[in-house]
Amino acid sequence: MRGGERVLEIFCDLFPEATLHTLIHHKGAMSPTIERMNIVESRLHRWPGAHSHFRHYLPRFPRLIESFDFRGYDLILSSSHCVAKGADPPPGALHICYCHTPMRYVWDLYGEYVRERGPLVRMFLAMCRGPLRRWDVRTAGRVHHYIANSRHVADRIKRHYKREATVIHAPVDDEFFTPGDGEIGDYYLIVSAMVPYKRVGMAVRAFSHSGKRLVVIGSGSDAERIKKEAGPSVEFLGNVEDQELKEHYRKAKALIFPGEEDFGITPLEAMACGRPVIAYGKGGALETVVDGETGLFFNEDTEESLLAAVDKFESMSFTISDARRRAERFSKSRFIKQIREFIEARLEEHLEVNGGA
């Protein structure tokens, strides 16, 4: 349940009677709001090893999303970071896509995905890249309206799909993530999936060399490799419940955000808890973190640049109130209002043009 799933959860709240189509469903892994939906899986769930190694079927994803039958639906609302935006609406239906990003691993962050991979994975992605990019561009017109989760992603949509997107920043649950009693621990914090473009390994190596304490929350395909590189000052907690996550945010010196993200929800969760963020100065973090006020940026993708920012951070002071006020600008209530108004307005326009009632 990270940023994309939190957005999906809100869509399920807005449309509780809708049918939720997904390539694959790990039953019980999502929140009760999502799990109680009428969920339709693609045939991927019947394929060998799909639940543990679904990424191996990446070349088949386009055909799988196209296999869904949407006849009888008036509105298709896709939440897409891979192929969901390729859902094919029936004649007369409106397709609105909330785009977290065009496919990272075939577009902007291809280099990040192959940088620390073995030769077989690099060969696999190289073979997939061309066909997936062509399909991605060819099907961009199936969406009537794009919503981007950041200006950074809106730029990607324009560059790759030649389409304009309305920016509605993804939400932070500022009612749940709140400041604590002000007691701060002796550790820095990373909350992240452990996949190549997140750059968790780089941060772990930096803190291992410095001896500064780092707590890492999350899991992913790179977890075992990253753990092997870690020194004794780095602690891995795996996935934790939301309440424990909140307590770690509240007590951390700062959140470390080492990768170039589409948007990034964890900086907002940290700031909602009153804690500053040390972030790589590219991507979505530039739209959430205020340099020198709610955190600091480091500008080179290196251990040295990150540690220099940490040293600088330790000579400065940041307030809980500044961080909290910044996070409140990205509240869940704001997101719900903007999404509802956008969908209602586009539906009304669509019905007028198509003679609906």
Tell me what pLDDT residue 243 has: 95
- pLDDT at residue 79 greater than cutoff 80: yes
- pLDDT at residue 258 greater than cutoff 70: yes
Distance (Å, whole) CA 357 – CA 228? 61
- pLDDT at residue 104 greater than cutoff 70: yes
Q: How big is the chain by its Cα radius of gyration, in Å?
A: 21
Domain positions in the chain: 3-171+332-354, 188-328
Mean pLDDT, rounded, for 51-80: 92
Q: Fold identical between 3-171+332-354 and 188-328?
A: yes
Mean pLDDT, rounded, for 334-347: 96
- pLDDT at residue 357 greater than cutoff 70: no
Tell me what pLDDT residue 221 has: 82
Tell me what pLDDT residue 291 has: 97
Q: Does 3.40.1710 match the CATH number of domain 3-171+332-354?
A: no
Amino acid at 153: V
Name the pLDDT band for 123 (thresholds 50, 70, 90).
confident
Q: What percent of the chain clears pLDDT 90, i.e. is strictly above it?
A: 80
Tell me what pLDDT residue 356 has: 54
Distance (Å, whole) CA 79 – CA 55? 18
Q: Which CATH superfamily includes the segment(s) 188-328?
A: Glycogen Phosphorylase B; (3.40.50.2000)
Tell me what pLDDT residue 220 has: 87
Give residue-wise pLDDT tens across range 1-57: 778 898 999 999 999 999 999 999 988 889 999 999 999 999 999 999 888 888 888
Distance (Å, whole) CA 98 – CA 146? 6
Task: Kindly provide the b/e burial profile for residues 44-77, where b requires at least 16 CB atoms within 10 angstroms of the residue's own CB.
Answer: beebeebeeebeebbebbbebbeebebeebebbb
Tell me what pLDDT residue 353 has: 82
- pLDDT at residue 242 greater than cutoff 70: yes
pTM to 2 decimals? 0.87
